[in-house]
Structure 1
Amino acid sequence: MKLIVSILFIAIVLSKAGSAYAQAPATSAKMGADSVNLKVYTGSYTLTSGSPIQKFTVTADKGDLFGEADSYGKNKLIKQAKPDTYQSTSSYGSIITFVRDGTTKAVTGLTLATQGTELSAKKDNP
């Protein structure tokens, strides 16, 4: 009787481990899909004249977005609850909100809110 219970216990443990292993590729596939979705944000954005920043460049790497103001170095952008909104991990903690065309839904620009100021930029090649 103890042998049967032990065998059943081992079978249950192995079946749960197998199902967890089977789900791992789905997570990887999701990361790949997220990377594709992030590409809509990538590109170079030119800020309006008179801004302290000329260009803001957005790149995607391994499922994460990064933003770089001029050539000050890349910072990871963390997704926020509001659609198309990210927060920079820079010391300024800027909030970047991507702007979409009302008809095509293509990303055409962004706003960068930092230190009580909001800067606007247009995507160079939307």
Structure 2
Amino acid sequence: PLVLKLKKQLSREAPWRGRISYRDTELQIQTPAQVEKEIHRAQNVVAGNGVGISHELINLEITSPEVPDLTLIDLPGITRVAVGNQPQDIGVQIKELIRKYIQRQQTINLVVVPCNVDIATTEALSMAQEVDPDG
């Protein structure tokens, strides 16, 4: 999972600052253009190069006058079939990881569904409704 912490700087002149940390690594990110590259690098270190998932957190902190104070946790999408060198139970692993986060009382779940998918058959939405039937 990627923990994205946005922190608003009150001074309009304050510079944009980024920091990513995972395992024993902590890096300063100089520009917004570097964010995607550093996230991919962290994901490859933590979960393997496109192979699996990990319960380890990747923390990305952005400080800027242009962002709100907000923390988001980005979880992996649900996979049904293992591809390439992925473990055969990748779907089960992902669902367990997702449940760990969405069942917390203080969590607001945002389920993202592509517009070309039938929302009634979306597994992520079903999981969210299981843990929050009134939501």
Structure with the higher fraction of residues in strand conformation: 1
> So what's the TM-score if we normalise by structure 1?
0.22
* Greater Cα radius of gyration, structure 1 or 2: 1
Structure with greater contact order relative to length (CA < 8 Å, sep ≥ 6): 2
